[in-house]
Amino acid sequence: MRGFILNNGFYLSPAQDHKRLRLKEEFNKLGIDIDLLTSVDLNFSIQDSHIHLKNIEKYDFCVYLDKDENLAYAIQKFIPIFNSAQSIASCNDKVETYLKLVDSNLPMPKTIPSLLCYNLSNSQADIKKFLDYVETELSYPLICKQCYGSLGLEVYLINNRQELEQKYAELIKLPLLFQKYISNFRGKDYRIFTIGGKAVASMLRQNETDFRSNIFLGGKGTAVELPQDILSVAENASRALGLTYAGCDVMLDENGQPTLIEVNSNAFLSGIEKASKINITKMLVNYIVSLLKAR
């Protein structure tokens, strides 16, 4: 059996590099050859109604550490890919994530998707009408997120109408969502890692200097044992989105009830392995191998 681990060809962070090297290490322990490739290595093209990918016939599977949905769909035409292209797409767009979960009876914060804007002529009255609606429904402070984003970098805390108008004017042509701010969980959340729809590790992420909990932005992770009602939110979301593995972010609302914030199809491993002392990488590799053998 031979596979490849693929990351984006234009950006490789220390956390991404750690993840692919650890995955390769655990696959090698099982006697499985792994190549480390980037998205550029595959020479992806479409010609005469055929998808062309360089050397794809050499491989039996792919562990996909990128967010490029189009390339994921192309690879999936030839070999199994983890996570699947459909699951990656559902997690890439945060509004799509919520839409895919509306029939799952999962608790989620009140969310208002922005509407498509491609032409600003004669739009001031409708902009005001939309922002009035956001302001009335969510009150301040509220959260503004770009639908496509990572590491908490595209998440903004909006404190008043002036900030709302400024941020919307800045980002109006991008896919956005506005969301109720869970103030009692400022700077913290629970990151729950699932494999095969089952929670295998959890940590409390907490940031003392930022409203975002992300470790990339200075948050610290500590191991935590969570009750099943919180774990079930992550497990059910992972199953509903068809994820082989996932990092699910859950907060507790003002009534102490778990609320699903995000689901990540390409969650990092280093932070939660360090906090939990659990070899999640080995568990994930074993699970992927079991799926391949069952095909």
| Three-class SS of the chain | CEEEEEECCCCCCHHHHHHHHHHHHHHHHCCCEEEEEEHHHHCCEEECCEEECCCHHHCCEEEEECCCHHHHHHHHCCCCEECCHHHHHHHHCHHHHHHHCCCCCCCCCCEEECCCCCCCCCCHHHHHHHHHHHHHHHCCCEEEEECCCCCCCCEEEECCHHHHHHHHHHHCCCCEEEEECCHHHCCEEEEEEEECCEEEEEEEEECCCCCCCCHHHCCEEEECCCCHHHHHHHHHHHHHCCCCEEEEEEEECCCCCEEEEEEECCCCCHHHHHHHCCCHHHHHHHHHHHHHHHC
Residue 21 and residue 61 share a domain: yes
Is the model's pLDDT at 56 over the cut of 70?
Answer: yes
Banded pLDDT at 295 (limits 50, 70, 90): confident
Report the CATH number at residue 15. 3.40.50.20
Q: How confident is the model at residue 213, as a pLDDT? A: 74
Nearest CA to 44 out of 66, 4, 75 is that of 75
Instruction: Report the candidate in 193, 184, 194 with the shortest Cα–Cα distance to residue 275.
Output: 193
121 pLDDT higher than 80: no
* pLDDT greater than 90 at residue 32: yes
Q: What is the mean pLDDT of residues 231-251?
A: 97
Position 122 pLDDT exceeds 70 = no
Kindly tell me if the per-residue pLDDT of 120 is higher than 80. no
In degrees and rounded to multiples of 5, residue 255 shows phi and psi of: -100, 5
Q: Do 212 and 99 have their domain in common?
A: yes
Is 290 part of a structural domain of the chain? no
Q: What CA–CA distance (Å, rounded) separates 101 from 68?
A: 22
C-alpha span between 252 and 230 (Å, rounded): 9
Evaluate whether residue 291 is within a structural domain: no
Range 66-79 average pLDDT: 97
Q: Residue 50: is its pLDDT beyond 70?
A: yes
Residue 165 CB contacts under 8 Å (≥ 6 apart), including other chains: 131
User: Residue 239 pLDDT more than 70?
Assistant: yes
Look up tokens 């002036």; give the residue.
162
> What's the confidence (pLDDT) of residue 216?
66
List Cα–Cα distances, 255 to 50, 235, 258, in angstroms: 54, 21, 9
Same domain, 48 and 82: yes
Distances (CA, A) of 44 to 47, 52, 53, 97: 10, 6, 5, 27
Residue that wins the pLDDT comparison between 88 and 208: 88
The pLDDT value given to residue 233? 97
Query: CA-to-CA distance for 293 and 73, rounded, in angstroms?
Result: 22
CA atoms within 13 Å, Cβ hemisphere of 166: 8
The verdict on residue 286 lying in a domain is no
Q: What angle do CA 112, 267, 61 make, to 5 degrees?
A: 120
Q: Across the chain, what does the average pLDDT equal?
A: 93
- Do 102 and 229 lie in a common domain? yes
Residue 131 binned pLDDT confidence (cut-offs 50, 70, 90): very high
| pLDDT classification of 280: cutoffs 50, 70, 90 | very high
pLDDT, mean of residues 273-282: 95
CB 281 within 8 A of CB 288: no
Whole-prediction pTM: 0.92
Q: Are residues 170 and 263 in the same domain?
A: no
> Is the pLDDT at 87 greater than 90, yes or no?
yes
Question: According to the model, what pLDDT value does residue 118 have?
Answer: 80
Q: Are residues 103 and 236 in the same domain?
A: yes
46 assigned to some structural domain: yes
pLDDT digits (tens, 9 = 90+) for 162-209: 999 999 999 999 999 999 999 888 879 999 999 999 999 999 998 887
Q: Check which CATH number belongs to the domain holding 169 and give it.
A: 3.30.1490.20
Percent of the chain clearing pLDDT 90 (strictly above): 81
Domain range spanning residue 270? Answer: 91-107+184-277
24-38, 119-133, 174-188, 267-281: segment of lowest average pLDDT? 119-133
pLDDT > 70? residue 268? yes
